[in-house]
Amino acid sequence: MWRWRWAAIGGGAVMLGVLAACSSDTKSISNNQVPAGVQAAFDAEHPYAKMNHPSVRSNANGASDYVVPYTRPDGTTGQATYSSSGELLEDK
């Protein structure tokens, strides 16, 4: 669902489209509740990173995505999102 917002920039108005996640439900889970396929994909992508407080997100279509915040050995952080089968959907 798209929600439109108007923002005033330099005396003019600009319409911004913002994707609202109205149809998803997110629940915190423990590291041992992450499916094996997601854990294996995470370990392959980030072999030395530590998983921090993962969550599962149920989408409107009934699919579940796993959001995995992590900390790299150098202290920087990231967040990866996987499908329930372990496919990497996003890594930032």
Place of tokens 């149920």: 58
Q: What is the pLDDT of residue 68?
A: 95
One-letter amino acid of 34? V
For the segment 3-17, the average pLDDT, to the nearest whole number, is 45
Q: Tokens at residue 47, please? A: 């072999």
Give all domains of the chain, ordered by start, each with its CATH number.
Answer: 23-91 (3.10.450.360)
Q: What distance separates the 2 farthest-apart alpha carbons in the chain? A: 53
Between 1 and 68, residue with greater pLDDT: 68
Q: Is the pLDDT of residue 26 over 90?
A: no
Q: Is the pLDDT of residue 8 over 80?
A: no
Q: How confident is the model at residue 55 (pLDDT cuts 50, 70, 90)?
A: very high
For residue 67, which of 80, 58, 77 has the smallest C-alpha distance? 80
Q: What is the pLDDT of residue 63?
A: 87
Q: Please, which residues have CB within 8 angstroms of residue 7's CB and are 6 or more apart in sequence?
A: 13, 14, 16
